[in-house]
Amino acid sequence: MALGPHWQPARVLVDSGSEHPPLISQDLADRMGMTGVRAGGTTQADCTCLPLFDIGCLDLAVNDEPISHNFLLAPLSHYAIIVGESWLRQHRGVLDQAHNDLWQCAEAGLQRLTFSKPRPPGE
């Protein structure tokens, strides 16, 4: 998948159990030259506080189209991006865990939902 404004490859986790807004890792934010404003924190299961920073609006390429989202910066280690329940609901996403697929409910029925670099204009 890719994340703008300067399209960068990123490893993404779609977590249907996460209630957080989309999260971006410190590593990816650093590679993109981005900083955030402290937006509080959240308590994890082990009672440690996870600091969160508002990074602002970034484009996420979904089905070859850039879609803007507000991201929070968090100290993630295994993934560059985590999107959760609210993101799935907003994009009418269906997570098929049995087949490791992601689908989108569209007017024409289910279509595969992918993260990729957007198509150049005019294509």
pLDDT at 44: 57
Residue 118, in any domain of the structure: no
Tokens of residue 35, six digits: 């900083």
Q: What is the pLDDT along the chain (123 residues), one digit of tens a residue?
A: 445 556 788 889 999 888 888 999 989 888 888 877 777 666 554 556 677 888 888 888 888 888 888 898 888 889 999 999 999 999 899 999 899 899 999 888 999 998 877 766 666
pLDDT at 81: 92
pLDDT at 1: 42
Domains in the chain: how many in total? Answer: 1
Residue 122, in any domain of the structure: no
Q: Which domain holds residue 31?
A: 2-112
Residue 67, in any domain of the structure: yes
Residue 37, in any domain of the structure: yes
pTM of the model: 0.79
Tokens of residue 6, six digits: 């300067």
Residue 117, in any domain of the structure: no
Residue 30: strand, helix, or coil: helix
pLDDT at 4: 52
CATH, residue 76: 2.40.70.10
pLDDT at 3: 54
Residue 120, in any domain of the structure: no
Residue 123, in any domain of the structure: no
User: Strands (DSSP E) along the chain, which ranges?
Assistant: 2-3, 8-9, 12-14, 23-25, 37-43, 49-62, 65-74, 81-83, 93-96, 101-106, 109-112
